[in-house]
Amino acid sequence: MIKASFKKYDLHFKQPSGTSRGILRHKTTYFLQLSKGDKLGLGECGLFKGLSADDVPDYEDKLQWLCHNCNEKFDDLFEDLKAYPSIQFGLEQAFLSLKSIDKFVLFPSEFTNGKAKISINGLIWMGSKDFMSQQIKEKLKAGFTTIKLKIGAIDFQSELDLLKYIRSEFSHQEIEIRVDANGAFTPKEALEKLKRLSDFELHSIEQPIKANQWEAMANLCSKTPLPIALDEELIGVFEKTKKEQLLREIKPQYIILKPSLIGGFKGSNKWISLAEKQNIGWWITSALESNIGLNAIAQFTYSLKNKLPQGLGTGGLFTNNLASPLEVNKGALFYNNDTKWDLSPLNFN
């Protein structure tokens, strides 16, 4: 007989982090614990307020429902949670954790053995031009060869000036640049802005316009001078036929997969399968989970053998994250088995 419980936990940012949706100072997440005899399993339900499709008033009620029904068949539970992708992901993690020899090793590999790394991008948060410039210098000094800039919060010319500065110091062969607009551009202005951004030989731009404007996004993807990656566009698209339709009609160059927002490992694999059939590229990104969720995403990502830099460098953003073996060094994520997990802040009974 499996027993289940959950804990709410507030992660606090080391410094306020800016996006086009506003300033983030803390993020609430939930941990799901399963127990069977002396075995424990742990997963994270990484709800993202204001972004997740399951940011709804009855979220904690649904977690309680799951705890009461945790002995039902996994596939039935997973399907019943279709409208709660972050809980689906927490459930997947917790069940894999419960079955594993080491509850933190969900996908045993050279990565979890500490013998392999995952190439990641360095994330540059929005802020003043000076603040963003400082972050860029720090990431380059730390050995990142791919950086990702959040854009759309300060004036566009200042953002172009930052890109010009990077390119004056580093060619596109030396430093790969991704930008993420988080839907900040209007459909009317987007193409012209993409043309100006393309002068700096960028890898791609994420979600240039807001989601759910399929016709406008399809038009952009057909005319864009730089590759477009869909991000928020995938959130809340639950049915396979709708996923297929979205990719077929918009024809993006890439999609970005955030397991907490799209139904975990299963949800990610469905998108990957559909994208590859249409020759659409993809990579995986964390969505401000604690190290529990990031650990699961990283292990899953390594198992997929995608050679692109992934978006998994968010573990160091919080003052009260859980101590873990995950480490970032020279633009890559490592698993250092000399460092032990510390779950004491969760205080599970």
Answer yes or no: pTM beyond 0.85. yes
Tell the CATH topology of 118-346: TIM Barrel (3.20.20)
Q: Of 244, 223, 243, which Cα lies nearest the Cα of 234?
A: 243
Backbone angles phi, psi at 114, to 5 degrees: 80, 15
Q: Is 258 a catalytic residue?
A: yes
Q: What are 257-304's pLDDT values in tens digits?
A: 999 999 999 999 999 999 999 999 999 999 999 999 999 999 999 999
Q: Start-end ranges of CATH 3.20.20.120 in the chain?
A: 118-346
CATH class of 3-99: alpha beta
What pLDDT, on a 0 to 100 scale, did the predictor assign at position 349?
A: 57
Cα–Cα distance list, 213 to 207, 210, 218, 232, 238 (Å) = 11, 7, 8, 11, 17
Q: Which of 150, 193, 210, 243 is catalytic?
A: 150
Q: Start-end ranges of CATH 3.30.390.10 in the chain?
A: 3-99
347 has pLDDT over 90: no
Please check whether residue 44 is in contact with residue 298, taking contact to mean a CB–CB distance below 8 angstroms.
no
What average pLDDT does range 331-336 have in this prediction?
A: 96
Q: Is 223 a catalytic residue?
A: no
127 has pLDDT over 90: no
What average pLDDT does range 11-26 have in this prediction?
A: 79
Distance of CA 230 to the CA centre of its chain: 12
**Orientation angle between helical segments 59-68 and 85-99, nearest 10 degrees:** 30
Please check whether residue 13 is in contact with residue 25, taking contact to mean a CB–CB distance below 8 angstroms.
yes
Q: How many CB atoms lie within 10 A of CB 307?
A: 7
195 has pLDDT over 80: yes
φ/ψ bin of 212: left (φ > 0), alpha (ψ from -120 to 50), beta (otherwise)? left
